[in-house]
Structure formats: structure tokens, C-alpha cells
Chain A
Amino acid sequence: MRIAVLVKDVPDLVEELELDESGRALAVDDLSYVPSEWDDQALEEALLLKEASGAHVSAVALDTGDIDNMLYAALAKGADRAVKLVGDYDRTMPGRQRARILADYLADAGYDLVMTGVQAVDDLDGQIAGLLGGMLGWPHASVVRDVAVGSGPVSFVQEYAGGRMAEFRSATPLVLGVQAAKKPPRYVPIARIRQVSRSATLEEVEAGAPSAESTLAVQRLYRPEAQGHATMWEGDAAEVAAALVALLDEQHLRS
């Protein structure tokens, strides 16, 4: 079983999201980036499959800038191979463009299973798993967990609202948008990633040029207008506790 895990980085939401002068995009150069949390879940699930049944795991990323560490981290965690798709790319590329480049690469790269995060915080123009499924004409499913691989079809569980789920079996090649791994993503110390970066190599693959296919025109990007922002209780924890107790009393919510 050959598995490709597609990983990308996204702006770190812990920091302020600065907009550029146009007001239509983020000031991409001023932000800090972290691996997309659901891609991390997909990578973890793939590594667990490797440990359980000897799958071969490749981490694949588009070279949109400063992504080497993310790929070295994947190797340090246990991926067998890291592939960097190189071309004239940058972080402003919409998901649809990224998907097309990935689809062209994946079409004949020989993977049985493609796993990626169910969504990303910036996939305004569609989640990568669905876009790839549609472009490649491969079966695909999103909001997936509990993936199992063997010699035959791949099985997985799909989640719905209210905690309902269903188990499916699918032929390969297959694309899965992973919601959560069986275990929380493993952690590797930075020292270990550094060590790997000195010995391992990232495989560079020249990939296609970005196309303008179905690009969305963003007219404005803005912070949500506070429709009804909370009344804020100022002060330290003790003052907030007192305010909360007063509210409970007022609302007769004390037991």
C-alpha cells in the first residue's frame, strides 16, 4: 500500500491576521505559518497505518515557500519519503490551483491511497480532498476516521452530524479527507527534526504551472462585524468570578 499524505501550512491563528493594502488578501509575508492541523491528523493516521500494516508513506507538499521543515518533520515522525513539488508557486495560490497541480502529479505517481486534512482554515474555494477526487475521477470521502488497509479494499469510517457514522469499503486509488487520527498526532522535538534535515533529502519534483481555472474573485476580506459582541467583564480572575456569580444569581441559575 503506497500512501501519499498531502500537507500544507496555513497562517497561525494565534497571531493577528494582517490584511494587505488591497483589503482583499492577507499580508502573506507578515504572517507566521503552522502546519494545517487536519493535515497533521492525516499524517498521523497514515503513520499508524504504516506501523500496523507496513504501508509506505510519502509526505507531499507544494513548494509555496519555507515548507522544508514541515517535510523534515514528517520524515522525523516516520514518513518514508518526502516529496516537494517545485514550480513558480507562492502562498497566495488558491486551493483550486494547488489541487490541479497535485492532481497532475498524483495521476500517475502510483499511490493507492491519498490522505489529506478534511479541510484547512483557508480553503475558501473547496476542500482539497473533494477537488482532487473530482479532478482525478477517483472515489473519495471526507470527514473520515479509522482508516484500515490490508491487501484488498481500504476501509474507513465517515462521520455525520450528531455522532452518527458509517463504515465504508472502497477500491483504490482513493482520496480521503481525514478528520481525526486514531491517536493525537505525535510530537517530535526540534532537535530531532534538525538532525533529520542534515541527513535526509527532500525529493524535488518539477510540477505544473498554476492555471487560472475557476479562480474566485475575492472582493473584500474583513473581520466579522460584531453583530452582538459580548459584554466584556474586565479585571482579574477573581473579579470575573464575582461577575459570573452575580449573573447566576440574577438568572436564578444557582443550584
Chain B
Amino acid sequence: MGPIIVVVELQNDAMSPATGELLTRARQLAQARSTRVVALGFGEAARSALAASGADDAVLVVGADPYVPTLAEAALRQMVRETSAGLVLLANTTMGMDLGAATAAAEGRPMVAYVTSLTAVEGGEFTATSQVYAGKLVAEVAVPEGSVLTVLPGSWPADDAVAGGTPVREVAVAPESAMELVRTIEPETGDVDITRADVLVSVGRGIQDPDNLELADELAEALGAVVSCSRPVVDAGWLPRARQVGKSGQTVKPKLYLALGISGAPEHLQGMKDSEIIVAVNSDPAAPIFEVAHYGATCDILELMPLLTELLGEAG
């Protein structure tokens, strides 16, 4: 089998945790299939992550930073073709969504998205599970050699730091002019930092109406907590972006995460599943949030919030 290509992503200038997870599984599978791991990183900023990748071949695409989707795609496709890649692993991030499906389609390879497990099976193929229908179902799929997979961050543990010092080799891609970066935009800093709160009262689309946010504010005050939310609440303009928990928002790890009217889509779970205690209240007993919550209830959050506020006031 051709090599397993892992696309390296950075977070705060270091290798992203999701990349560490991919490399770990890639090394195991490469050993099982007697093949190599090729780590592919974009731009000078990726050099130290590549050197610490523990891959058999670490390849830096020169001139590919900052990230431009078209350029990165051209480089990945070139690498897939040149090496007759046996598998291509990306994290299911923005970069993974940009490059995964397009590379698969352009190179005529199968594609599996939202992967949560990947194992080698006898006879040469692989099996993967994927989260579909917003986490309500799991699909187990046969993964033929040559497939491109995007893996949900946090799906399996990463090995501790591997010995650094992988030699990094450089490749160039033809400059590509269809798309150009205009500017990068740093995250909005909000009035509060939700990543520092001990207790978060987190509201989702179940809050139904912006007027009901008052109930969450009052509860948070009674609890000495901070209000955070799922993405649709931000997209509706009801709370500022700095309050958003999840894939495209903040990753939080409070002592208590109270999820009110949040279904528990994979993109939300990614940002809060490591909280110490998770309590979820959702009228749908089949909501995926209950899979990660420690305690749960199916009552109406609009009824619960004022009752809880009152109870805390009385006893406090």
C-alpha cells in the first residue's frame, strides 16, 4: 500500500492536538500495513511541527503560508498523485473540509467525513465509523485503500510527544492566483472570557426567543456563573461571538457546564466535552448531548430556569 499522508495543522503556532491524533493512528496503521507515514505541512510556520511529527517523511510546502485553500489543495493533490497515497488523513476542520472532499473528487478517490474511528481489517481494507445526522446515528463504512478521510478532533488519544528531529524536506507548488488572502481577522475579545469561568450556563436554540435570555442571565447571576451558548444563538445575533462554545468558538472546561436547550451536535461537543461535570436539560430524550452529560433531564428549560433561580435565592 502507498504511504499514509497526514495533513498537519497548527494551533497557536504549534501542531494542533487533532494532528497529533491523526499521526498517532497513521503510525499504527502504517506499521500494520508495512507502509510509511508522510506528514504534509504548509509554510515555514509548520516546520517545527513537521520536525516533531515522527513521520517517515516530513514535507514542507514552501510559500504556502498564510493558508490559502486553493494553494494547499494543489499541494496536497500533487503529493497524493506522486506517492500513490494509500490513505489521506485530515482533521474535520475548516482546512479538512476545504481539502478533503475536493482532493477525493479530483483524484477519483473515495471520501469519508466525520470519522470517529479507523481500524485495519484483514484482507487489506479499513473500517471507519462516522458520526452522521448531527450525532444521532453512527455509520460504519468499509474504507477502500486510497480513501481520503476527515476525522473529528478528539476521536482517539494521541501518543505523548514523539522523539523530534524528523528531517524536513521542502517542496514547491506552482503559485496559484485564483484566490488571494486579503487579511486575517483575530477573534473578538468579549466582555467576559468564558474559558475562565468555573460554571457556565450555556443556552442553545431551545431558548427560542431573545427575550428568554433574561432567564439565563438571572440564573447565571444566582449561580455566580457566566452565560455561554451554542452557535445558532450567535448567528441569530442574540449573544456575542465571544460567548460561543464549540468548533468555531471557544473550547471550555469548567467545573460545571449546564447545557440548556442544546442538542449536542458534534461541533458543539468538541468545545465542551471535557468539562468536569456536564448537566444537560433538553426536551428530546434522544438528544446526543445526553451521551456526554453526567446528569440529564427532559423538562422545559423555560420552566426550569426561573424555578432554579428562585430556589438558589431562597437557600443562598
- Chain A interface residues toward B at CB < 8 A: 11, 13-14, 16-17, 41, 96, 99, 118-119, 121-135, 137, 139-143, 155, 157-171, 177, 179-180, 183-184, 213-224, 226-238, 240-245, 247-248, 251, 253-255
Contacts and interface: CB of A to CB of B under 8 A. Distances in A.
Interface string B126-142: 01001111111111111
- Interface residues of B: mostly helix, strand, loop or mixed? mixed
A18 B239 CA distance: 35
A161 B93 contact: yes
B248 A219 contact: no
Contacts of B20: none
Nearest to B290: A230
A24 B180 CA distance: 43
Contact of A14 (B181, B235, B249, B284): B284
A245 B184 contact: no
Contact of B181 (A168, A184, A241): A168
26 contacts: A14-B284, A122-B132, A130-B98, A130-B100, A131-B104, A158-B94, A164-B186, A166-B185, A167-B182, A168-B179, A170-B70, A171-B178, A180-B231, A216-B112, A221-B132, A226-B291, A229-B290, A231-B294, A231-B296, A232-B285, A233-B295, A237-B307, A240-B281, A248-B256, A251-B256, A253-B256
Given A219-B142, A240-B304, A169 B102 contact: no
B109 to A, nearest CB: 7
A242 B311 contact: yes
6 nearest CB pairs, A to B: A255-B224, A130-B101, A134-B105, A163-B187, A126-B101, A230-B296
A231 B106 CA distance: 47
Contact of A162 (B179, B187, B294, B303): B187
B237 A184 contact: yes
Interface stretch (B34-42, B50-58, B61-69, B167-175): B61-69
B293 interface: yes
A136 B56 CA distance: 33
A168 B290 contact: no
A226 B223 CA distance: 30
Nearest to A14: B284
| Residue among B70, B94, B236, B285 facing the most chain A CB atoms (10 A cut-off) | B94
B101 A134 contact: yes
Contacts of A213: 108
A109 B312 CA distance: 62
Contacts of A160: 93-95, 248
B19 interface: no
Nearest to A146: B185
A142 B94 contact: yes
Contacts of A244: 258, 279, 295, 308
Contacts of B25: none
B201 to A, nearest CB: 11
Interface residues of B, number: 103
The winner among A16, A132, A168, A234 for most chain B CB atoms within 10 A is: A168
Contact of B182 (A161, A169, A242, A243): A169
Contact of A168 (B68, B188, B281): B68
Contacts of A124: 112-114, 130, 132, 139, 141
Nearest to B111: A126
B97 A125 contact: no
Contacts of A158: 69, 94
B253 to A, nearest CB: 14
Interface in B18-45: none
Given A139-B179, A143-B94, A161 B109 contact: no
Contacts of A125: 110-113
B145 interface: no
B110 A214 contact: yes
B7 interface: no
B140 to A, nearest CB: 4
Contacts of B303: 236-237
B228 interface: no
A53 to B, nearest CB: 18
A130 B100 CA distance: 7
Contacts of B102: 130-131, 133-134, 140
A230 B231 CA distance: 23
Contacts of B284: 14
Contacts of B187: 162-164
Given A127-B101, A224-B135, A159 B180 contact: no
Contact of B291 (A16, A170, A227): A227
Contacts of B68: 168
A240 B183 contact: no
A168 B106 contact: no
Contacts of A224: 131, 135-138, 288, 291
Contacts of B163: none
